[in-house]
Amino acid sequence: MVIIGSLFIYIGWRIWKKEQITLIHRYHYEKVSAENKKPYTEKMGKAMILMGIGIALTGIADFIFHTSYCWCIFAICFIGGLVIMIVSQIKYNHGIF
């Protein structure tokens, strides 16, 4: 899980800092205007990083503590990232698809 979380963090960083909008599927950014590209990629990248942190922390915590409560970290971060992505999609792409 740490490897998958790290991959999410890396891709999120590339989307956010390098503004590589092409890492997102084309129909998710077709209607994003040129002036909204920077805030869109920033929010989408940060949401991806949040998801990655949740995945990595869940893997580490589950390895150390061996309890199912560690999955709460995953749920909180993943749902939080998903909500940020959906709100950004609606705001900048004028719809989810």
Name which residue leads in pLDDT, 29 or 79. 79
What are the pLDDT digits (tens) for 19-32? 999 999 988 889 99
Q: What pLDDT, on a 0 to 100 scale, did the predictor assign at position 33?
A: 92
Q: What pLDDT, on a 0 to 100 scale, did the predictor assign at position 3?
A: 97
SS (H, E, C) 28-95: HHCCCCHHHHHHHHHHHHHHHHHHHHHHHHHHHHHHHHCCHHHHHHHHHHHHHHHHHHHHHHHHHHCC
Domain-wise residue ranges, the chain: 2-93
Predicted TM-score of the model (pTM) = 0.93
Could you tell me the pLDDT band of residue 6, with boundaries at 50, 70 and 90?
Answer: very high
